Amino acid sequence: MTSPLKRDDGDVTAVTSREQEVALEAEDQRHAQERERGLARRRRIIEQLQGEGLVLVLIVVFVVMWASSQFFLTEQNLLTAASVVSVLGVMAVAETLLVIAGEIDISIGSVMAATSVLMGVMVGAGINVWLAAIIGLLFSGAVGVVNGVITVYFKINSLVTTLGTYSIFLGVAYAVSNTATTSIGGAGFEELGSGKIGPVPVPVFFFLGLWLIGLGVARWTALGRHIYATGDNFDAAVRAGIQANMLRMGLFIATALSAGLAGIITTSELGSAAPQIGDPYLLSVITAVILGGASLRGGRGTMLGTLVAVAILGVLQNGFALLQFSTYLEDTVLGSLLILAVLTDRLVRRAES
């Protein structure tokens, strides 16, 4: 594609008459139209690469695993893998919307841990486990309020805000629990994490339920349009009468609540409260969201992309377990995927400008 952008600006300064200038601009406009068509075409190709490329990656890791392990393609294993990755998925839904709105929350892992430990303390004090779970959820929502207020009203970069709260609540979780786990169970609480409806583990329903809600919001509601607009052009959103600050507050709270829920599900599954449960999720949730096509600069991202990315991470996690690779290497792979995803986003933006 030869660039229609190229025009010798020296020519323009030489032009004096308005007619000539207008003629030149007519030429320019034709060029602009050509450029516009070219950009639209290029964007379609890139979008296809991004969308279908991601599906292709899923197929590749799936096939590789199928070939590598005879246990992979069994109903039992796939359902277990789905159950494990659903905890990540529960958080990825809200995080995707938050990233589309132009913010990020990396405190989720520690909110999970703190919620779990808080439940352990309460159950240890004789409080009903379900009541403890509800109070845990309220606590996580309160952390979302803190993240939101600091970021939105004090105009602090959300990466810094949530890095701070990440550290604060992880520290609290370890200190309060003294790194020990507390047994939690009874009153049917185990069912949340390890129960099944038919053959399907309960956490999968949490994930798919939340995902469907996220899909509906992003695609079919005015709220969804406002989330995209807020991340894309904040001033334009505010001028259009959108309560962009309230909206970002709400998304911080939703993300923290989903982390609280993930903490409760994991606590139920393990049958105990533990401060370590959030550790794997700082990296993996963000990786899933960015890999799914949500842009760190806001305004861009889809629920479908996040679903496929969560599935990819699910197969990878499962694969590492089946093949008995080091869990440390899992971090290396996740980190590489994250950087690849961010680079892809940058290349897409560059191709468009």
Residue with tokens 């861009």, as numbered in its chain: 300
Angle at 298 between CA 43 and CA 155, to 5 degrees: 155
**Binding to another protein by residue 48, rule CB under 8 A?**
no
**Binding to another protein by residue 242, rule CB under 8 A?**
yes
For the CB of residue 15, give the shortest distance to another protein in the complex, in Å.
11
Residue 26 vs 339, nearer CB to another protein = 26
Q: What is residue 128's three-state secondary structure?
A: coil
Q: Note the Cα 293 to chain centre separation in Å.
A: 9
Q: Which of 300, 309, 314, 348 binds another protein (CB under 8 A)?
A: 300
Q: Which of 132, 237, 303, 311 binds another protein (CB under 8 A)?
A: 237
CA 62/CA 308 separation, integer angstroms: 12
Return phi, psi of residue 78, to 5°: -65, -40
Residue 329 vs 347, nearer CB to another protein = 347
**Within 184-326, where are the H helices?**
191-194, 202-220, 222-232, 234-239, 244-270, 281-291, 303-322
Binding-site size, another protein (CB under 8 A): 34
**Binding to another protein by residue 36, rule CB under 8 A?**
yes
Whether 115 and 266 have beta carbons less than 8 Å apart is answered as no
**Binding to another protein by residue 249, rule CB under 8 A?**
no
Q: Note the Cα 143 to chain centre separation in Å.
A: 18
Residue 42 vs 77, nearer CB to another protein = 42
For the CB of residue 22, give the shortest distance to another protein in the complex, in Å.
6
**Binding to another protein by residue 32, rule CB under 8 A?**
yes
**Binding to another protein by residue 138, rule CB under 8 A?**
no
Within 10 angstroms of residue 189's Cβ, the number of other Cβ atoms is: 21
Say which DSSP state 183 is in. Answer: E
What per-residue string of b and e applies to 281-295 under the rule 16 or more CB within 10 Å gives b? bbbbbbbbbbbbbbb
Q: Which of 78, 141, 168, 232 binds another protein (CB under 8 A)?
A: 232
**Binding to another protein by residue 50, rule CB under 8 A?**
no
Closest CA to 255 of 100, 85, 87, 104: 104
Residue 214 vs 263, nearer CB to another protein = 214
Q: Which of 126, 198, 199, 241 binds another protein (CB under 8 A)?
A: 241
Q: Which of 39, 131, 145, 160 binds another protein (CB under 8 A)?
A: 39
Closest CA to 263 of 248, 278, 281, 284: 278
Whether 95 and 108 have beta carbons less than 8 Å apart is answered as yes
For the CB of residue 297, give the shortest distance to another protein in the complex, in Å.
10
> x/- string (CB under 8 A) for another protein, residues 210-229?
------x---xxx-xxx-xx
H/E segment holding residue 49? helix 18-68
Q: Which of 9, 235, 324, 328 binds another protein (CB under 8 A)?
A: 235
Chain residues binding another protein by CB under 8 A are: 18, 21-22, 25-26, 28-29, 32-33, 36, 39-40, 43, 216, 220-222, 224-226, 228-229, 232-233, 235-237, 239-242, 299-300, 352
